[in-house]
Amino acid sequence: MAEFGGAGSGGWGHSVSFSASGNRLAWVSHDSIVSVADASKNRSVGQLKTEFLPLLTAGHDCCPMLFTYDDLGNFTFITKLDIPKQSTNRNISAMERFRNMDKRATTEDRNATLETMHQNSITQVSIYDGDKTECRKFCTTGIDGAMTIWDFKTLESLLSHSSDRSPPPPAPSNPKTLRYYK
């Protein structure tokens, strides 16, 4: 048993997760620090201070993000995994107008739509297909009522590009989003 406090991270924890092997424990704190304790390295703690708050692959930035953690205890931010929407000028329906009044305290559509699949904070990320050692698809759910399933075929390619410093390939293709409204 071990306690990991005072290691430079402050604020409350947002989420924790064990690696598939059980040797690593990762957590995210409210001060934007992602930490990993590694039992195979005398419980040494690696940390990455990010500009995103809070973050566990997804959070208030409304899009999933990919990080790597190597055997030397180094964190690296790889890429955001969202495909920006094409913005268009359009008239909004009466239903959208009332939804905007309820969710955004406005009847206008201008500047109300983000260029991400999720339109509000992502509250949960779950493995949809596969496991921690080989995640093929993952699911994000958010405050906006959306549940998005992401096809993660390009994971190996993203990780291989991170080690050779070449530009990352495009984000995972064809995310599918279901929206539920109250």
**DSSP string spanning the chain?**
-----SSS--S-EEEEEE-TTSSEEEEEETTSEEEEEEGGGTTEEEEEE-SSSSBSSSBTTSS-EEEEE-TTS-EEEEEE--PPPPP---PPPHHHHHHHHHHHS-S--TT---SSS-SS-EEEEEEEEEETTEEEEEEEEETTSEEEEEE-TTHHHHHHHHHTTPPP-PPPS--EEEE---
User: Do 154 and 134 fall within a single domain?
Assistant: yes
User: Do 107 and 76 fall within a single domain?
Assistant: no
User: Do 36 and 68 fall within a single domain?
Assistant: yes
Q: What is the CATH number of the domain that holds 160?
A: 2.130.10.10
pLDDT (tens digit, 0 to 9) for every residue of the chain, 182 residues total?
Answer: 677 765 555 667 777 888 888 888 888 777 777 788 888 877 778 777 766 543 345 666 777 877 777 777 777 777 777 755 555 455 567 777 766 666 655 555 555 567 777 888 888 888 889 887 777 888 888 888 888 888 876 545 544 554 555 554 444 455 666 665 54
Print the domain residue range for 106: 86-115
User: Do 67 and 131 fall within a single domain?
Assistant: yes
Does the residue 8 lie in any domain? no
User: Do 91 and 78 fall within a single domain?
Assistant: no
User: Do 130 and 43 fall within a single domain?
Assistant: yes
